[in-house]
Amino acid sequence: MKMQLSEIARALKIEPHKEWEEITITSVSFDSRALRPGALFIPLLGEQDGHRYVDAAIENGALAVLWQTDHKEADLAVPALKVADTLSALQELSRYYLQKINPKVVAVTGSNGKTTTKDMIAAVLSTQFNVQKTFANFNNEIGVPMTILSMEPNTEVLVVEMGMDRFGQLEQLSRLAEPDVAVITMIGEAHIEFFGTRAKIADAKLEIVSGLKEDGALIYNGDEPLLVERTTDLIQETFTFGSEPGDDLQAINIVSDATKSSFRVTLWPEINFTIPLIGAYNVKNALAALSVGHYFMLDVNEMAHALEHFEMTKNRTEWLKAYNGAQILSDVYNSNPTAAKEVLQAFATVKTTGKRIVVLGDMLELGADAAKMHASLAAEIDPNMIDTVYLCGPLMENLATALADKFSLDKVRSYRPEEKDALAADLLKELGPDDVVLLKASHGIHLEEVLAKIAKNA
């Protein structure tokens, strides 16, 4: 980003001062600690009032700030652009900048896999275009405009991850970004506490088409009936991916080992695709990326190479090493029943001369059926394939009960969230150099604290 402060003022419908034409803004930040010199500081209102940190932002190099008009005016060393609402101003500025750079926009949502899919799509599109993508999980009302404003001027395609935990959120984000292509990875149970049913989650996910251009396309998981039945009346082009014969892009001959999966696609049967991830669910994420590349008419061989070597956002199903050489499959950022079952199925097939050990933490925001959903994971935990199960959190007690008739008492160990140090210590005592261990939980359980104690360079 590079704009004169006077241009930013006009974009926000503020009459600029003449001297603002001499001030060049090179970035936008809402965090005074991470701010780079040359930034516009936007003090947002949340648990903390960002206006309290304006002076710190200026000390760190902010050249200008936004100032919400319901706050008492302050005597600042830099220009203050007065706005009614700083979050709305951030969004409006991003809308202006998006129109100025005018890239193609690919928006990605889904109950699971959207970050991995975003990374895969960006890798595939980078074979031909200058691509910018969402950093980490900047996927909400703040993250999406920040992603837009972080674009380099030469950006040709912007890949934007969009999350949601309530109705109307995806509609707002979609209308802000106005995507050329929208992608829905899957419908799961994430945030079902707020929606009640998977059908209502599907309704909320379909809000991503609210801002979809009329000549754009919706790419979605064709194996999900809830999506199929909701897309029949769309005026935009639709394209499906999955494992069923009716899908436009169907995966066949899926083979996984400990570190990768290979598959073929009916549209290109002569090409063998490989991704550095395990599990059929990640193959579907790759199909979504291939579908986007196909829409942009990219070379299939170049797409295959990009998928084989793509860089993944940290803590998304990544293999790490323990201090003693044991293999760790870390997936500690998020969890829901569908995602947990899929990774458990994949993990059970990982070849090892040692033990397979599972560490599971509570899956949050599941509502009234949370106990039943946790217990349902027992169907995917076979004592012939899994040696020991470590459980963290009160909801996982339901899984412990469900496993009681399958495992001996010493093979299922439960811990409260505040006992993660004890969990890590016990795990380290058991973990042998030839073992493999899976860590999976919602981020709120913070299993990354266990990971940090057992993994080398975590």
Least confident of 64-68, 102-106, 439-443: 439-443
**Which pLDDT score is estimated for 457?**
64
Confidence of residue 72 (pLDDT cuts 50, 70, 90): very high
Q: Which residues contact 99 (CB under 8 A, 6 or more apart)?
A: none
Q: Of 315 and 175, which is predicted with more confidence?
A: 175
Token digits of residue 35 = 């701010």
Confidence of residue 352 (pLDDT cuts 50, 70, 90): very high
CA distance 52 to 56: 8
Given a cut of 70, whether residue 315 has pLDDT beyond it is no
**Which pLDDT score is estimated for 316?**
66
**Which pLDDT score is estimated for 182?**
98
Architecture in CATH for domain 318-454: Alpha-Beta Complex (3.90)
**Which pLDDT score is estimated for 312?**
86
Are residues 87 and 94 in contact, defined by beta-carbon separation less than 8 angstroms? no
User: HEC states along 137-189?
Assistant: CCCCCCHHHHHHHCCCCCCCEEEEECCCCCCCHHHHHHHHHCCCEEEECCCCC
Confidence of residue 148 (pLDDT cuts 50, 70, 90): very high
Average pLDDT along the chain: 94
The candidate with the shortest Cα–Cα distance to 40, out of 74, 71, 69, 83, is 83
User: Taking residues 295-309, what's their average pLDDT?
Assistant: 98
CA distance 126 to 295: 14
Query: How do residues 254-272 score in pLDDT, each as one tens digit?
Result: 998 878 999 999 999 999 9
Percentage above 70 pLDDT, the chain: 99
Given a cut of 60, whether residue 458 has pLDDT beyond it is no
Given a cut of 60, whether residue 215 has pLDDT beyond it is yes
CA distance 124 to 308: 10
Class of residue 187 by CB neighbours under 10 A (exposed 0-12, middle 13-18, buried 19+):
buried
For the entire predicted model, the pTM comes to 0.89
Angle at 427 between CA 426 and CA 429, to 5 degrees: 65
Given a cut of 90, whether residue 136 has pLDDT beyond it is no
Least confident of 86-90, 92-96, 293-297, 311-315: 311-315
Is CATH 3.40.1390.10 the classification given to domain 3-85? yes
Token digits of residue 107 = 């928006």
**Which pLDDT score is estimated for 194?**
77
Confidence of residue 188 (pLDDT cuts 50, 70, 90): confident
Given a cut of 80, whether residue 191 has pLDDT beyond it is no
CA distance 360 to 396: 8
How many CA atoms lie less than 13 Å away from 431 in the CB half-sphere? 26
How many CA atoms lie less than 13 Å away from 411 in the CB half-sphere? 17
Are residues 92 and 50 in contact, defined by beta-carbon separation less than 8 angstroms? no
> The CATH number of 103-308 is which of 1.20.1560.10, 2.60.40.10, 3.10.580.10, 3.40.1190.10?
3.40.1190.10
Percentage above 90 pLDDT, the chain: 86
Given a cut of 60, whether residue 184 has pLDDT beyond it is yes
Given a cut of 80, whether residue 192 has pLDDT beyond it is no
CA distance 82 to 431: 58
Amino acid at 192: I
Query: How do residues 396-451 score in pLDDT, each as one tens digit?
Result: 999 999 999 999 999 999 999 999 999 999 999 999 999 999 999 998 999 999 99
Query: How do residues 82-93 score in pLDDT, each as one tens digit?
Result: 999 999 999 999
**Which pLDDT score is estimated for 256?**
86
Binding residues: 110-116
Binding residues for ATP: 110-116
Are residues 89 and 83 in contact, defined by beta-carbon separation less than 8 angstroms? yes
Question: What is the residue extent of each domain of the chain?
Answer: 3-85, 103-308, 318-454
Are residues 267 and 291 in contact, defined by beta-carbon separation less than 8 angstroms? no
**Which pLDDT score is estimated for 374?**
97
